[in-house]
Structure 1
Amino acid sequence: MSAGFPGYSGGRTGVRVVVAGDRGTGKSSLIVTAASESFPENVPPVLPPTRLPADFFPDFVPLTIIDTSSSLESRSKRNEELKRADVVVLTYACDQQVTLTRLRTYWLPELRQLEVKVPVIVVGCKLDLRDEHETTAIEQVMTPIMQLFREIETCIECSAASLIQVPEVFYYAQKAVLHPTAPLFDQEKQALQPKCISALRRIFILCDRDMDGALNDEELNEFQVKCFNAPLQPAEIVGVKRVVQEKLPDGVNQLGLTLSGFLFLHALFIEKGRLETTWAVLRKFGYNDDLKLRDDFLPVPSKRYPDQAMELTSEAGEFLRGIFRLFDTDNDGALLPGELVELFSTAPERPWNEAPYEDAAEGTSLGYLSLNGFLSEWDLMTLLDPLRSLANLVYIGYSGDPASALRITRRRTIDRKKQRTDRSVFQCFVFGPKNAGKSTLLDSLLGRPFSTGYFTSNTSERFAVNVVSQVGGTKRTLILREIPEDGLKKFLSNKEFLAPCDVAVFLYDSSDEYSWKRSQELLVEVARHGEESGYGIPCLLISAKTDLDPYPMSIQESIGVCLKLGMQAPTSVSVKSGNLNNIFNRIIDVAVQPHLNIPETETGRSRKQYQQLASRSLMCMSVGAAAALFGLALYRVYAARRSTST
């Protein structure tokens, strides 16, 4: 399926090779012979770093070779070099069986002890000195060792004195770095890695332009030209399909090469040592060595103010709705676990299997993901990790310009000055003492009844996200972020902590005096932080658990605090009795009018009055100075006229 050597198209500009092994195994001679293409008569014990230029290799990437000493005195320095290696070459002498045994008993375990997690090339040097009666093939000797140490990429024997396979040693070393096996192929299972299958599946779907589940001759040829800049001849296409059909009958059908056939071909390339072919394909479609899309394929603006956010555009939203309908094969309005797995089958992994996404969105009673839950997860991921969100959009088939999928919102500080916002996703920080009902409030946003017994630790952050319908049919996404009371001091040490917040909610248990007092303290503390940092935010006080008897004076005190701070009166809710008092719409109403409900403390009010007084004083001084200058100018005109008249 490829034509000629595909070359290297990754991001590396050099490869660092560290050569190690027992004394006398031929390390230095191997290096000098590779660099000079001649066998040296005298070689120093340890060579300085040796550079092989880019034109030594078909991939045109230079190599730096580091020689090491095997002495105990040099162990520390050698270990440091091994930790900096891109690939390790371990040598043994073909005429000294003990040096081969030492690879298994000392050198390979030593690399593991040092946690050197790079490819290893095992090289038998001095092939010319091997006993001519020795008939054991290298494969027989090395296979048990390679099964025990999977980090060994390949084994090769050479002779520096006879100039046998010396360049090949460093070609394989470079190849192990530029075209690694581990991300593509599981040697133990003898199968493609799951991430490799996902990437190749996506590439197959992109190349299957008529979406009939097979690559016809024209599509195969376009694929070939894109990846290798050379067309396939008709006879070559026939040959490719014949090879697949002989080994895998369902790899080819009447329409062309199927997905299973496409995957089989790449497994065949890898098994035959042609990893550069599969890597050329993957890199042409934007993948890095971790089989994830490179950042240059994902145009997410890196420069934005702390109080700006990323949102999905309407184009991306429409795409996601279409994807949801496509994979909701039973048309029940929800994605089953299997349907969700299929949807993300072209991504390296499912993105919502861990915190903060896991269990953060609305699902059905059976745990399936509703459309609102699906869209909400995307909104949350876009807010928290826009690069990951865009990458997953592309993985699952977003075909538009990636730059058209996300937009940067206007700064929140500007929204508050203009007294309006065009955001469609709002983030609300939920503060409150322990047992005030924060987690219960988050659960209610997800439609979970009080009796379901959901429980979340108060010591960690948690998110809940859902689509909220407003009066008039407008839909906004609300993200509730629970702020643990114990961690507030740490959060407030960050000046920009409140920058991404649209609304702050302060929850207290209306039946508990301490809960109310503590919530009031939190409110004042956060309000002061907002004033000092310049990120003053709208705040809302929520009186929770109103199904219980309130402690005396709670209502009067809370109203008084709100009046003093310039906020609206507290909103009463009882999740247990189902009386939410339209709280989520109220939160969004506050977010939509960001200039209202920003609390003003005594300290902030004094600072504001001082700034106004200073501003007026400066204005008076400016007016006085201007009047003085004007008077002086009039006097000069008068004096000039008087002088002329006399």
Structure 2
Amino acid sequence: MAGVGSDNRSGDIRIVVAGDAGTGKTSLVFAASTGHFVPNVPSVLPPAKLPEDMFPTRVPVTVIDTSSRTENRTTLVEELKRADAIVLTYSCDRPPTLDSLTSFWLPELRRLEVTAPVIVAGCRQDTQEEEDPTNLEQVMSPIMQQFPEIETCIQCSAFRVTQVVEVFYFAQKAVLYPAAPLADQEAGTLKPRCIRALKRIFILCDHDRDDALSDVELNDFQIKCFQAPLQPSEISEVKKVVQQQYPGGINDRGLTLAGFLFLQALFIEKGRTETTWTVLRRFGYNNDIRLADDRLPPPFRRHPDQSAELRDDALDFLRKIFFKFDIDGDGSLRTAEVEGLFSTAPANPWNEAPYRDAAEKNVLGGLTLDGFLSTWALMALLDPIRCFEYLIYIGYAGDVSSAIRITRRRLLDRKKQQSDRNVYQCFVFGPKEAGKSTILDSFPGRPSPKEYVPTTTDNHYVVHIVDQPGDTKKALVLREIPEDNAEKFLSSKDALAACDVAIFVYDRSCESSWKRATELLLSVASQGEATGYEVPCLIAAAKDDLDPYPTEIQDSTRVSQDLGIEAPIRISGKLRDVNIFCRIVSVAQHPHLSIPETEAGKSRKQYRQFISRSLKFASVGAAIAFVGLGGVLPLLLSRNVAYDDLKISNWPQKKEKKRKFDVFASLKDIYNGK
């Protein structure tokens, strides 16, 4: 059950050889590239390409010799940073050079933040005394525990040309089949991400879903990964090894998941990392143990004002998955159940911002079905490729076209005066302590902190399902825009492209809060008019349980009337007012009704209307003149008038006619923005 798979790497592998002076670096490189030893070699060799047929992978390898002299320090550092793998040498007959690895070379690689795998090569093995051979494992074991970046230790002799090729084979192998992502060498266990990937592979190979790989399924797995079947005797031998060393790995149906993981751990322990990597790569994993780019769709081509949503096929799949992992049947997914859901993914993506605590949970902290679907809607909105990737991890078998759709442009929605989206995004603006975070917290029914905690990042999101008339449901995403970040945020041309509706929150008991909210509202309105991404806007008068400042009603009424939007919606942080969220969705569905107009915007609109009327008038005049000309031409031609007499330049009042055409052209230029 083994084999060597090809790596998806392209280009040469650069192996840099470094170490103390006189440890045999150059002789090692020369012996590897030529196959023989010479007593006198240059102090430093030029880059040497090893024969491609030297290794079974046939991946090109370039070996870089280096000098440890002080004057060559800069070149050495540059080469170490460019290396795919590093061979550190010491001389078997000079113990201080071995000590130098731990006192200088390995710490120096860490200081330079070089993360390439390291092979330790003990050169001049032929100089060791026969009667006192060095126990390599005993010497190197504590060093490898201290420096886990060391992949392998090996002793060699350039003089006898023994184990020279093996040094560079292990270096190449450390690049193509690195052990570090697979296992914790010190603990002797598989790493969590490796276990998750192997678990998914096991489930994909368990065709009858009986939690075990039968002999037929095990053979299918072998053929898929290594292009060679297993003989019945070989399958029996594999199962026998597992049964003897890990009894829980075999049951009456076949190889269990525990047994499958044990086998892979056994390969890694014996240095057969290429076996496990072959399995992973056959199922589409890259060196980070994530699905490779060629297993995922390319980035979606879309305008900034288009967004991504989950289709019905994906939503139906997610509903089934929800109830499958709701083990206790309480209508929610608790933390352990969510972790179980993502146990075949590289990690639980909802443990990090902006998904953590973004959706509704019940009183016991379980994620409700609405909260579950809402979080997926948020993933699709913010990162559709990653959303589809995680759908694959949890078992979705459809293609991306059946899972995700790109919506119509918001610009067209506003022209058509209607939106057919299922997910709306609302930007929440307002000054500090106005109550923005309180609104966001109340949306999924989460209590707000008793003490004020300012929001400092732009990735504070909440999402929830909003019931609409006609028994329809829409997902609403609220994104808080901190006051300190608002100016920088709005400086981007496409800042408002992803916004379906904006709401401006102010503390109605504080006049300065109102003034700042008005400034933000005017900034957004002006930005929308300037970029074409005009957004419908609402005003929220927060803290309605407090007394308003004296002129609050007059001020808010005047501004809303001047801008042509609704009067402020009054809300209180002490109550969860679902009406405001329904109102936000309603405005997003009919965006043309609540787009504010500034004075500058009104002036531009009036000017465009004037130009449009002028162009229509000029067009009518030109049409009349053309009709008149059509009546004169036959008469002139019938009288055999010379062609030159028909030129406009020879007509009476030619200057007046030319001026009219010039005016007409100028009006067109103005209208077209020239």
Do these two structures clear the TM 0.5 threshold for a shared fold by scoring above it? Answer: yes
Deviation at 1:136, TM superposition (A): 2.0
Give the TM-score normalised by the residue count of structure 2.
Answer: 0.92
Equivalent positions of 1:187-226 (< 5 A) are 187-226=185-224
- 2:523 maps to which residue? 525
Any residues of structure 2 matched to 1:324-335 within 5 Å, and which?
Answer: 324-335=322-333
Conservation of the 8 A alpha-carbon contact between 2:433 and 2:452: no
Q: Quote how far apart the aligned CAs of 1:625 are.
A: 4.2
1:111 and 1:276 mapped to 2: Cα distance? Answer: 26
Of structures 1 and 2, the larger Rg is shown by 2
Q: Displacement of 1:449 after TM fit? A: 5.0
1:549-573 alpha-carbon deviations (Å, 9 max, x no partner): 2223322332222222121222222
Give 1:45-60 correspondences, 5 Å limit: 45-60=43-58
How do 1:172-187 and structure 2 match up within 5 A? Answer: 172-187=170-185
Identify unmatched segments of 5+ residues in structure 2.
643-674
Q: What's 2:596 paired with?
A: 599
Partner deviation per Cα, 1:176-207 (whole Å, 9 max, x = no partner): 01100010010110010111111101110111
Quick one: structure 1 residues 554 and 581, their matched pair in 2 at CA, closer, same or farther if it must change by over 3 Å?
A: farther
Deviations 1:286-333 (A, max 9, x none): 111111111221215332211111111111111111111011111111
Deviation by residue 1:163-185 (Cα, 9 ceiling, x = unmatched): 21111111110000110001001
Contact 1:308–1:408 (CA under 8 A) maintained in structure 2: yes
Aligned residue number for residue 426 of structure 2: 428
Q: Residue 482 of structure 2 aligns with which residue?
A: 484
Code of the residue aligned with 2:217 in structure 1: it is E
What SS does the corresponding residue of 2:306 show, helix, strand or coil? coil
Aligned to 2:156: 158
Query: How far did residue 387 of structure 1 move?
Result: 2.3
SS of residue in 1 equivalent to 2:197: helix
C-alpha change, 1:136 and 1:205, in structure 2 (3 Å) is same
| 1:158-307 mapped onto 2 (5 Å cutoff) | 158-307=156-305
Contact 1:300 1:403 in 2 (8 A): no
* Structure 1 letter corresponding to 2:581: F
2:345 maps to 347
Question: Does the aligned pair in 2 maintain the 1:319–1:398 contact within 8 Å?
Answer: yes
Distance in 1 (CA, whole Å) between partners of 2:627 and 2:90 is 97
Shift in alpha-carbon separation, 1:628–1:198, aligned structure 2, 3 A: same
Per-residue deviation, 1:474: 0.5
Deviates more, 1:542-551 or 1:582-591: 542-551
**1:157–1:165 Cα contact (<8 Å) kept:** yes
SS of the equivalent of 1:434 reads coil
Partner of 1:111: 109
Alignment of 1:351-500 (within 5 A): 351-449=349-447, 453=450, 456-461=453-458, 462-500=460-498
Asked if the contact 1:53–1:61 (Cα under 8 Å) also holds between the matched residues in 2, the reply is no
For 2:318 and 2:452, the matched residues in 1 are separated by: 31
User: How far has the Cα of 1:477 moved from its partner?
Assistant: 0.5
Match of 2:635 among 635, 638, 641: 638
Pairing 1:586–2:613 present: no
Deviation per CA, 1:236-281: give whole Å up to 9, x if none. 1111111100101110000000000000000010011111110011
Aligned-pair identity in percent equals 59
Contact 1:179 1:275 in 2 (8 A): yes
8 Å contact kept, 1:9–1:284: no
TM-score, normalized by length of structure 1?
0.96
CA, structure 1 residues 126+536, in 2 after alignment: closer, same or farther (shift >3 Å)? same
Q: CA deviation at 1:622?
A: 4.2
CA distance, structure 1, for counterparts of residue 308 and residue 377 of structure 2: 9
**Are the structure 2 counterparts of residues 644 and 93 from structure 1 closer, same or farther at C-alpha, using a change threshold of 3 Å?**
closer
For the structure 1 residues 575 and 106, does the alpha-carbon distance in structure 2 shift closer, same or farther, using more than 3 Å as the test?
Answer: closer
Tell me the CA shift for residue 42 of structure 1.
3.6
1:613 aligns to 2:620 (yes or no): no
Partner of residue 321 from structure 2, selected from 323, 326, 344: 323
CA deviations 1:133-166 (Å, max 9, x no partner) are 3322221221121122111100111112212111
Distance 1:356 1:456 in 2: 17
Given that residues 572 and 581 in structure 1 are in contact (C-alpha distance below 8 angstroms), is that contact kept between their aligned partners in structure 2? Answer: no
Name 2:558's counterpart in structure 1: 560
Where does residue 653 of structure 2 map in the other structure? Answer: none
Contact 2:5 2:278 in 1 (8 A): yes
Q: Which amino acid aligns with 1:70?
A: S
Contact in 1 for aligned 2:5/2:277 (Cα 8 Å): no
| Farther off after superposition, 432-441 or 636-645 | 636-645
1:569 correspondence with 2:567 = yes
Q: Counterpart of 1:75?
A: 73
Query: Quick one: which amino acid aligns to residue 473 of structure 2?
Result: K
Task: After superposing the two structures, state which structure 1 stretch, 55-64 or 333-342, moved more.
Answer: 55-64
CA contact (8 A) 2:537 2:596 kept: yes
The CA deviation at 1:41 is 4.5
How many Å separate the matches in 1 of 2:575 and 2:623?
68
CA distance in 2, matches of 1:401, 1:532: 39
1:501 corresponds, among 493, 499, 502, to 499
Give the 5 Å matches for 1:113-152: 113-152=111-150
Who is 1:64 aligned against?
Answer: 62
Taking the aligned partners of 1:226 and 1:69, their CA distance within structure 2 comes to 46
Contact 1:571 1:581 in 2 (8 A): no
Task: Give, in whole Å, the separation in 2 of the partners of 1:29 and 1:624.
Answer: 94
Q: CA deviation at 1:506?
A: 0.8
Amino acid at match of 1:325: F
How far is the alpha carbon of 1:83 from its aligned partner? 1.1
- Residue 57 of structure 1 and its aligned partner are, at CA, apart by 1.9
Determine the structure 2 residue equivalent to 1:18. Answer: 16
Aligned to 2:545: 547
Whether contact under 8 Å (2:33, 2:51) holds in the other structure is no
CA contact (8 A) 2:9 2:176 kept: no
CA contact (8 A) 1:199 1:347 kept: yes
AA paired with 2:245?
A: K
Task: Tell whether the 8 Å contact from 1:39 to 1:163 is kept in structure 2 after alignment.
Answer: yes
Query: Structure 1 residues 424, 528: CA separation in 2 closer, same or farther (over 3 Å shift)?
Result: same
Contact 1:7/1:58, CA 8 A, preserved across alignment: no
Q: 1 CA distance for matches of 2:608 and 2:462?
A: 40
Q: Secondary structure at the match of 1:331?
A: coil
Query: Structure 1 residues 136 and 587, CA, compared in 2 at 3 Å: closer, same or farther?
Result: same
Shift of 1:358: 1.5
- Distance (Å, rounded) in 2 between the aligned partners of 1:211 and 1:609: 69
Aligned equivalents of 2:213 and 2:453: distance in 1? 49
